[in-house]
Amino acid sequence: MKRTSAALVPPISLDRRGTCPIYRQLYDWFRSAITEGRMRPGQRVPSTRSMAAELQISRISVFNAYEQLHSEGYLETFAGSGTSVARTIPDDALGFLPTHKRKGLQGAIAKPGRRKVSARASILLKLPSEPWLRNLGPFRVSLPALDQFPVEIWSKLVVRHSRKLSRASMAYGDVMGYLPFREAVAEYLSTFRGVRCDASQILITTGSQQALQISAQVLLDPKDQVVMEEPGYPGARVAFTAAGAELIPVPADSEGIVVPEINRRGRHARVAYVTPSHQYPLGMTMSAARRMSLLQWAAHSDAWIIEDDYDSEYRFASRPIASLQGLDVHGRVIYVGTFSKVLFPALRLGYMVVPKDLLPAFSAARDAADIFSSTLFQAALTDFIADGHFARHIRRMRMLYMDRREALVCAIQSQMGRNLEVIGDEAGMHLVALLPPGMSDVSVSKHAAQNGISAMPLSSCYLKAPKRGGLILGYGGVDPRQIQDGIRKLKISVHRHAVV
């Protein structure tokens, strides 16, 4: 009798018709009451019998709720003294006191809204972002012709591998990637890109961004210098910034990055990031002389070259340019490629070719980052390559993109020849159209986005202020009709910003 009176049954309202079981509602009520300070450490709780009677519920429900509260340490039982709120619950647990008791202590708690994150995260947050470009409208950069992808063939392969999911293909896979896939990639790169490698050097990634992130992780310590082409690829800038590196812009001219400038501005750089086959974004090819000087610089400076060969499959006026990596006899080049542009981005498959002595470090960094890439798509893509679909798709897309580029250049010249100047080689999936001097490419880009156009401002590729603005126009994912229509819309935005 005494026990029951010592622990009056609290006013618990139960929802008897809801989907939440009674014992759970009881558990929840006690947990909140304890953590919010409505029940104090040491305070008695009613017996299961009295609780059940008072609340008109089954004693089993009460028992189950108490059991759970016990096992989580909210309640404790001492022989002879019944069950009470655990005394180990800290009495002054901040945030668990009733609000009126917390007041005086609030000052000690850091204010939300301006809480400290890491220095590198703070810098990342300050990088320019173009949220208005997130639409999939005309001229979206890096978007291939998704409607031309052989979805039927691909899905057949996915289905085939999905139905016979083996233990090995469901479990943890190889950090470096699925071996047959790495062999296929090595063969492709040796034959078509002039890369010197074997399958042991291939590290499969979830795309080129991860390849850059891992490279930054392995090659760079915070404050280390990285040479970037100016203008250059914003994704690389993000990856190196995230690693805490210092970026050194070195101009790129018609022959690619100006190597003598590296010696002047970035003498102590640990890494140079370049796009020799098709400079991003301007579109020229790095000359043989520059390639050799760059390799020489790296060998002399104990530095590394990251070669990003993001869309080299597509050259229209000449044959594909062989990779810089293939010229390197000192193992100074980390070669990076992706299937996002030749197939589709949501595949999340890319690759890198790593100098052999660096393989343990790259493998460890991939393991630390996210362990391995999904096996299913690697297996399906191995078949896709082996069956010849890959080569066939590239050939078809090369013709298609050549036509689309021509259509875009024509549309620009006929509709806005006075205002846009096209630059870059006949290659890839995008071109750069320079705006008249003095016109803000960010303003034009923002305005165009209101009409559903995704035209990336050239200035977002510069670390320093550019001399002249421009628009990076992707033509991979737009058909001729969309090109005509898109340029008409773009014209409105450019004219609006024209100096009167």
Q: Please, are residues 318 and 428 in contact by the beta-carbon 8 Å criterion?
A: no
CA distance linking residue 498 with residue 469, whole number of Å: 13
Tokens encoding 371: 């362990």
Spell out the residues 6+ positions from residue 99 whose beta carbon is closer than 8 angstroms to its own: none
Q: Which amino acid is at 40?
A: R
CB 212 within 8 A of CB 228: no
146: contact with a copy of itself by CB under 8 A: yes
Site for a copy of itself in 419-458 (CB under 8 A): none
67 binds a copy of itself (CB under 8 A): yes
205 binding a copy of itself? (CB under 8 A): yes
| DSSP-assigned beta bridge partners for residue 203 | 352
Neighbours of 234 (CB within 10 A): 21
260 binds a copy of itself (CB under 8 A): no
In the bound complex, what is the minimum distance in angstroms from residue 13's beta carbon to a copy of itself? 20
Of residues 213 through 242, those in contact with a copy of itself by CB under 8 A are: 213, 217-222, 224, 238-239, 241-242
Q: How far is the CB of 302 from a copy of itself (least distance, A)?
A: 4
Binding to a copy of itself in span 101-130, by CB under 8 A: 108-110, 112-113, 115-122, 124-125, 127
Q: Measure the CA–CA gap between 267 and 285, rounded to whole angstroms.
A: 24
CA distances to 11, 26, 173, 249, 329 from 332, rounded to whole Å, are 73, 65, 28, 20, 8
322 in contact with a copy of itself (CB under 8 A): yes
Q: Is 86 in the site for a copy of itself (CB under 8 A)?
A: yes
Min dist. Cβ of residue 496 to a copy of itself (A): 28
Which range in 305-313, 354-362, 450-458, 467-475 contacts a copy of itself by CB under 8 A? Answer: 354-362
Least CB distance to a copy of itself at residue 182 (A): 16
Distances (CA, A) of 386 to 169, 170, 192, 383: 19, 22, 15, 5
Q: Of 140-148, 415-423, 440-448, 453-461, which part binds a copy of itself (CB under 8 A)?
A: 140-148
- Min dist CB 208 to a copy of itself, Å, is 9
* Nearer Cβ to a copy of itself (321/432): 321
Strand arrangement of the beta sheet that strand 246-253 belongs to: 202-205, 350-353, 333-338, 304-308, 271-274, 225-230, 246-253, 256-257
Give yes or no for residue 318 binding a copy of itself (CB under 8 A): yes
Query: Contact between 165 and a copy of itself (CB under 8 A)?
Result: yes
